[in-house]
Amino acid sequence: EVQLVQSGAEVKKPGESLKISCKGSGYIFTSYWIGWVRQMPGKGLEWMGIIYPGDSDIRYSPSFQGQVTISADKSISTVYLHWSSLKASDTAMYYCARLRGSGGSLLQEMRYWGQGTLVTVSS
Amino acid sequence: QSALTQPASVSGSPGQSITISCTGTSSDVGSYNLVSWYQQHPGKAPKVMIYEGSQRPSGVSNRFSGSKSGNTASLTISGLQAEDEADYYCCSFAGSSNFVVFGGGTKLTVL
């Protein structure tokens, strides 16, 4: 069974750094793209970016390029989303999601989702 | 402002059919048969209901169907049930610059 398990909720102050995680299991971790999706309070879904753990090929949405860093550690089947300096506007639920099929194609839907990580940034 | 335009809300009575539209451009919806639809209940992660415009994942009711005409995709839910009440988001591949774009979401109310 494919599972994506995300790290727990975080409360941080503006200017602090943060790395949240998404651990995949039940499949060959290196063979599937995993992306990140933001959902601000009461708002819609926003695609942030995606990584192919096999070769760490990363694509960012223009809206999030330079704002966050996506990375992966193949040895522990985990993808990360990192902020170097949080802002109050980063307060949101963040979901990781895996594409349906294996291989390098991005032309697929997000089939499997993590449970979400709530990030709250407040002074 | 979202890249894809959806109505903010739709409603229907149990047993009825509703359709949610998703309007994009020739750079996303119009260029690729890669629209997907996600259902999200409050406090839950999204769930894919339709992919590649009209395909249903295993386990999704055949009451859900998808279509596309030009730059507009549509999700139709027939035989509305109470459990269909949720937010629905369309999503499309948008080329090698923007990659993936979502609609703003539609709140479905089952009356």
**Does the distance separating the beta carbons of A115 and B45 come in below 8 Å?**
yes
Q: Is the pLDDT of residue A13 over 70?
A: yes
pLDDT band, residue A105 (cuts 50/70/90) = confident
Angle at A120 between CA A118 and CA A122, to 5 degrees: 180
* Residue B37, min C-alpha distance to chain A (Å): 9
For residue B105, pLDDT over 70 is answered with yes
Closest partner residue to A113 (CB to CB) among B46, B100, B105 is: B46
Whole-number Å distance between alpha carbons of B38 and B48: 4
Chain-centre distance for alpha carbon B56: 12
pLDDT tens readout for residues A72-98: 999 999 999 999 999 999 999 999 999
Report the run of H or E that residue A19 belongs to, with start and end. strand A18-25
E strands of B1-111, at which residues? 9-12, 18-23, 36-40, 47-50, 64-69, 72-77, 86-93, 100-102, 106-110
Flag whether residue A109 sits within 8 Å of chain B, measured between CB atoms.
Answer: yes
Amino acid identity at B58: S
Q: State pLDDT tens for residues B3-61.
A: 899 999 999 999 999 999 999 999 999 998 899 999 999 999 999 999 999 999 999 99
Q: What is the mean pLDDT of residues A93-109?
A: 91
Nearest-Cα distance to chain A for B34, in Å, is 7
The three-point CA angle A19-A55-A82 to 5° equals: 10
What per-residue confidence (pLDDT) applies to A32?
95
Task: Give the model's pLDDT for residue B1.
Answer: 64
Read off the tokens for A59: 């694509």
Q: CA–CA separation, B105 vs B111, rounded Å? A: 19
Would you place residue A56 in the very low, low, confident or very high pLDDT band (cuts 50, 70, 90)? very high
Q: In the structure encoding, which two tokens stand for residue B67, read together? A: 């279509």
Question: What distance in Å separates the CA atoms of residue B54 and residue B36, rounded to the nearest whole number?
Answer: 8
Which band of pLDDT confidence, cut at 50, 70 and 90, is reported for residue A100? Answer: very high
Nearest to B1 by CA among B107, B111, B101: B101
Chain A residues touching B20 at Cβ < 8 A = none
Indicate the length of chain A as a whole number: 123
Q: Do A110 and B46 touch (CB under 8 A)?
A: yes
Would you call B85 exposed, middle or buried from its count of C-beta atoms within 10 A (0-12, 13-18, 19+)?
middle
Token pair listed for B94: 């948008």
- Most A CBs within 10 Å: which of B99, B102, B106, as the mutation test of the A interface? B99
**Range in A76-80, A101-105, B56-60, B105-109 the model is least confident about:** A101-105
Confidence of residue A103 (pLDDT cuts 50, 70, 90): confident
**What number of other Cβ atoms are within 10 A of residue B51's Cβ?**
22
Average pLDDT value for residue range A49-75: 95
